[in-house]
């Protein structure tokens, strides 16, 4: 009877089945501690029967389907997307978004289209 696999071992085996390129891209998004744990699990794998592979894949698929909420770091995601989109010009935009750069109310009002201001005041 095969032994019960830990969550870390299941994660490592899932990454192994995805291939080197996909696994590398995924590992880039993990903490150093998580990468070390998964790397140790990689090294402990010598062979894996097909039934165990299917069971792990099925469990992973069921977890994805069952999840109603996805936890993300929206602030960090926004920073990375903006930096990727605007490169060197992203810093001032990031400062504005994160609140590091303050604008006067007069500047905000002058940048707002008149119809939006009228609708806001009317409401």
Question: What is the predicted pLDDT for the residue at 104?
Answer: 66
Confidence (pLDDT) at 51: 86
According to the model, what pLDDT value does residue 80 have?
72
CA–CA gap between residue 113 and residue 34 (Å, rounded): 48
- Per-10-residue mean pLDDT of the chain, 123 residues long, equals 76 86 87 87 80 85 71 67 70 66 66 71 67
Contact 61, 53 (CB under 8 A): no
Domain positions in the chain are 7-66, 74-122
- pTM, whole model, 2 decimals? 0.49
Given a contact cutoff of 8 angstroms between Cβ atoms, the answer to whether 40 and 32 are in contact is no
């Amino acid at each position: 009877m095969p032994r019960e696999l830990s969550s870390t071992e299941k994660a490592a085996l899932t990454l192994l089945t995805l291939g080197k390129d996909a696994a590398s891209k995924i590992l880039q998004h993990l903490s150093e501690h998580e990468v070390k744990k998964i790397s140790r699990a990689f090294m402990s794998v010598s062979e894996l029967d097909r039934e165990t592979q299917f069971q792990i894949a099925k469990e992973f698929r069921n977890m994805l389907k069952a999840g109603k909420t996805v936890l993300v770091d929206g602030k960090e995601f926004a920073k990375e997307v903006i930096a990727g989109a605007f490169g060197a010009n992203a810093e001032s935009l990031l400062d504005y978004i994160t609140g590091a750069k303050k604008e006067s109310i007069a500047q905000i009002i002058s940048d707002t289209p008149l119809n939006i201001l009228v609708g806001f005041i009317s409401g």
